[in-house]
Amino acid sequence: MSAPSRCIAAAARGFKSIPVARISHRTITSHTSTPAASLRQAIGGNTTCLRALQRAKEESSKNGAGRIRNFTQSASRSKLKTIDQIRARNKGGPFNLTAAILFVAASAGLWAYFRHEKERMARKRIAEQTKGIGKPKVGGPFQLIDQDGRPFSSDDMLGKYALVYFGFSHCPDICPDELDKMALMYDKVVAECGNVLLPIMITCDPARDKPSVLKEYLTEFHPNFIGLTGEYDNIKDTCKAYRVYFSTPNNVKPGQDYLVDHSIYFYLMDPEGDFVEAIGRNFTADQAAKVIRDHIKDWEKPLKKEMRWQ
């Protein structure tokens, strides 16, 4: 027999002589045998090498994790696969749709506030221009009678804003147009601010505009209009106080025909009897009503809202 054959036969006899371990069912249940323990028994001395290899692997993984520093907890863009993930990422950023809307809203609010304050300060300057020393005063005390024949003075204007217009009942075109506009202005202001405005027309033609004539004339424009008339000298002094020009002749004969020329303005007076602003023909009814409403809203003191004329 050759040498290789003798070696193989010897090895076979050696394996046959090794007793086979028989493990009963009782032994498995009574002893705590684990797969790891069986593995250690099988590999014997290699256990130490496996432990060392495992520790080296753990240390390598720890060192690798320490070198990588994450600056965000959100998923990377390469891992975003659904619409919900993309929306969730966009919501977390500093610049998104919500931030843009808030920025625009805040900017619009600041712009509106500063514009309102600028207009309010401009109105305040206009209202105080005639109250300073050396300024020509517009308005003043007067004693006249209304369309019902009752006395009416400048004191009756206190506590409310007053819109004063100078005209006459025989005016062919300008006065009717302005009184129509005055009626629109008055209704718009009262609808928003309440009964805080007195619409007053003072005649420049006292010889023909008696109380009964004014009453009939003004009812065609608005039932709340107040018509004032009086003696020629009283009307002249009132026009002078309001810086109103008029060319009505004195001592006219009954039935005499003549023309009257006068200034065409609405004079806005505050509740203390001071002049606020003159509104000319270039203002529409809406524009003039807005000017009056803004001045009324700027007023910080109490206003009388009860009805005097009933």
Known binding residues for Cu cation: 171, 175, 262
- 256 burial level (CB within 10 Å; 0-12, 13-18, 19+): exposed
- Tokens representing 2 are 């050759």
Angle at 149 between CA 197 and CA 259, to 5 degrees: 80
- The DSSP bridge partners found for residue 199 are 163
Q: Say which amino acid occupies 108.
A: A
* Beta strand ranges found along 182-297 (DSSP E): 197-203, 226-229, 266-269, 275-279
- Rg over alpha carbons for the chain, rounded to the nearest Å, is 51
Q: Which residues are annotated as a binding site?
A: 171, 175, 262
Structure letter (DSSP) for residue 168: -
How many residues belong to the chain? Answer: 310
Strand, helix or coil at 262?
strand
Q: CA–CA separation, 83 vs 96, rounded Å? A: 16
Q: What is the 3-state secondary structure (H, E, C) of 174-209?
A: HHHHHHHHHHHHHHHHHHHHCCCEEEEEEECCCCCC
CB 295 within 8 Å of CB 161: yes
For residue 197, list its beta bridge partners: 161
- Cβ atoms of 271 and 160 closer than 8 Å: yes
